[in-house]
Structure 1
Amino acid sequence: MNASPFEPKPRLAISACLTGLSVRYNAGHKASALCLELLQEHFDWVPLCPEVAIGLGTPREPIRLVGDPEHPVVTGTRNGATDLAGPLRAYGEQMADELDDICGYIFMQKSPSCGLERVKVYQEDGRPAHQAGRGAYAAAFCARRPDLPVEEEGRLHDPILRENFIARVYAYADWQQQRRQGLSRGALIRFHARYKYLLMAHNPHAYRTLGRLLGTMSRDDDPEQLGQRYFHQLMQALRRCASRGTHGNVLQHLSGYLRNDLGPADKAELQQLITQYQKGVVPLVVPLTLLRHHLRNHPAPYLAQQAYLHPHPEAMGLRNAI
């Protein structure tokens, strides 16, 4: 039997409390049913708790961000004498360098160490500033790994954000596999060809920009250096969530490959479902399922390789609710 295109499982770093480990300040956890029931089958977890890693006990005094939201200190809620920002940031940089085989990271939201956004930063009067901050550890980690897909567990409950994050994780894993196989001018062009329509759905402008970047590639260009530029722009572009309009545009492009193979009734049915999807009547999986059906009956080798048609394991059902 052929191996799944999604094997081996991508490794994801994750805030340890989300996996059920009792590492929180109160010796509890924040086990995530979404991560443990929906995602765990498809990923290998790397649980991390920066607060425990820098030597804070369990249970322990809660910590919080204090001062300038851009550069907060991290202190205990009762004892503000010790600033833990330095150790947390240092550990973030250390892990960013060591975890070179992960393809994404799921952080605990609102945490003074792990929150990616909307973390309260307290002022001298005891009230939080209007401007929120980022967890000290997460900020340092992400600054070191700007292309790595990252998301907060709370935001993953939004179906659109969840699908976007998981698609980026598998694109990252695909690129890592390509790097292991070696980069060449041909390899870059073939990789981009696979991601053409996924990129078109997420960011039409970047789709054109990256096409020009590779289209002007010369024999003097170093594939490693060009590949680094290409992948950085690709991952930034995929952070934008696709809309019904851009998905519909891609579906129209893909259906165009079947124009000489389908009869009038089949064409009309496919067009009707694409229109219904764009109007919000049916989810994306409905026109996609019919399109895949026709492609099985009328194979198109160029489309068979498209990441857009299979950006993540179908069993995850991520496109059933968008």
Structure 2
Amino acid sequence: MSNGTVAKPKIAISACLMGAQVRFNGGHKQSQLCSQQLAEHFDFIPVCPEVAIGLGIPREAIRLVGNPQHPEAVGTVTPELNVTRPLAEYGQQMADTLGDICGYIFMQKSPSCGLERVKVYDHNGVPQGGGGRGLYAQAFCDRHPDLPVEEDGRLNDPVLRENFLTRVFAYAAWQPLRQKHLTRRDLIEFHSRYKYLLMAHNPVQYKALGNLLGSMGKTDPNELGPRYFSALMAALKKCATRGTHTNVLQHLSGYLKHVIDSEDKQEVQHLIGQYRRGIVPLVVPLTLLKHHLRQHPDPYLAQQAYLQPHPENLSLRNAI
């Protein structure tokens, strides 16, 4: 897939992660990964819901209290300060305003922005087990269930980072189809591009989605399309493993068996084996396969998102 044809994706992000001094103590939580390494590839849209609803800088910290499934956000010193409704309403408002984003990076552990395991206290001030989700994040994600979302801390894991950004670019690639009247050909061609990426992430859903489109019959593609895409994004959320990547690499190498000599075949198999055993990263066998595919182009493989699901200079596959 050529990412040169896709506009720089927009990603919303907690403003403190971009260095804005908007936290309750007047500080920030700048992420070097986001503010420097990723900023070249994405248009970041900073958002701080707590400032947006009128809380000052600095301000009294808030925390989640009550039922972990439906907590309230109240002041840590002044429990009468209750911003539950403003945070939820702002989340709904921004979900409508930011309709063209392709991902969201949230501040972890935040009572407004945390995605999971945010501390929720009982009314006696004792933390409850399990935790909850920030109220702004909850309201926003409820409106955009297919949107790729992640917390900043988890992006330090190379596998989770690659997974999130793969989903961001897949989401971005779907957006032009959302804006038009879908045809059956649109759906089949899109699915064809994502065949091997799906196989790497979720082999079971790869087969299920193929069956879904294969049996669409007279179903309106504009009714089927959103269902297909929701299932695709859910499938891609599952991280690919060395085992599933190896399976895809073997499939790709099969296209070369009649066009490269035995020595080159042995080299390809050797590097795939080294990757499977954790000796080399994914980029090593992929680079060799892409070299041979340039020498012996195949129109079907040339369109495969798996070969380049994100810009090469992000170097995401160098670390997995």
Tell me the TM-score normalized by structure 2.
0.98
Within a 5 Å distance, the mapping from 1:1-322 to structure 2 comes to: 4-5=3-4, 7-218=6-217, 220-322=218-320
Q: Give the length in aligned residue pairs.
A: 319
CA displacement at 1:6 relative to structure 2: 5.4
Which structure ranks higher in relative contact order (CA pairs < 8 Å, sequence separation ≥ 6)?
2
Query: Structure 1 residues 34, 6: closer, same or farther in 2, change over 3 A?
Result: farther
Q: Distance in 2 between matches of 1:235 and 1:124?
A: 38
CA displacement at 1:124 relative to structure 2: 2.7
CA displacement at 1:181 relative to structure 2: 4.8
Task: Please say if residues 6 and 173 of structure 2, whose CA atoms lie closer than 8 Å, have aligned partners that are also in contact.
Answer: no
CA displacement at 1:4 relative to structure 2: 4.9
Deviations 1:127-148 (A, max 9, x none): 2101211001001111111000
Q: Secondary structure at the match of 2:70?
A: coil
Task: Please say if residues 6 and 313 of structure 1, whose CA atoms lie closer than 8 Å, have aligned partners that are also in contact.
Answer: no
Letter in 2 for 1:256: G
Q: Secondary structure at the match of 1:26?
A: coil
Deviations 1:163-221 (A, max 9, x none): 00000000000000222354110010000000000000000000000000000111x21
Q: Secondary structure at the match of 2:210?
A: helix
Q: Secondary structure at the match of 2:57?
A: coil
Q: Distance in 1 between matches of 2:206 and 2:32?
A: 35
Task: Please say if residues 6 and 312 of structure 1, whose CA atoms lie closer than 8 Å, have aligned partners that are also in contact.
Answer: no
Q: Secondary structure at the match of 1:114?
A: coil
Letter in 2 for 1:117: E
> Which of 85-94 and 164-173 deviates more?
85-94
CA displacement at 1:16 relative to structure 2: 0.6
Structure 2, unaligned runs of 5 or more: none
Letter in 1 for 2:93: Q
CA displacement at 1:84 relative to structure 2: 1.0
Letter in 2 for 1:137: Y
Q: Distance in 2 between matches of 1:4 and 1:309?
A: 11
Q: Distance in 1 between matches of 2:96 and 2:6?
A: 24
CA displacement at 1:54 relative to structure 2: 0.7
Q: Secondary structure at the match of 1:319?
A: helix
CA displacement at 1:26 relative to structure 2: 1.0
Q: Distance in 2 between matches of 1:229 and 1:205?
A: 17
Task: Please say if residues 201 and 235 of structure 2, whose CA atoms lie closer than 8 Å, have aligned partners that are also in contact.
Answer: yes
User: Sequence identity of aligned pairs in percent?
Assistant: 65
Deviations 1:92-133 (A, max 9, x none): 111112211000000000000000011001123322101211
Q: Distance in 2 between matches of 1:215 and 1:4?
A: 28
Tell me the TM-score normalized by structure 1.
0.97
> Which of 143-152 and 116-125 deviates more?
116-125
Structure 1, unaligned runs of 5 or more: none
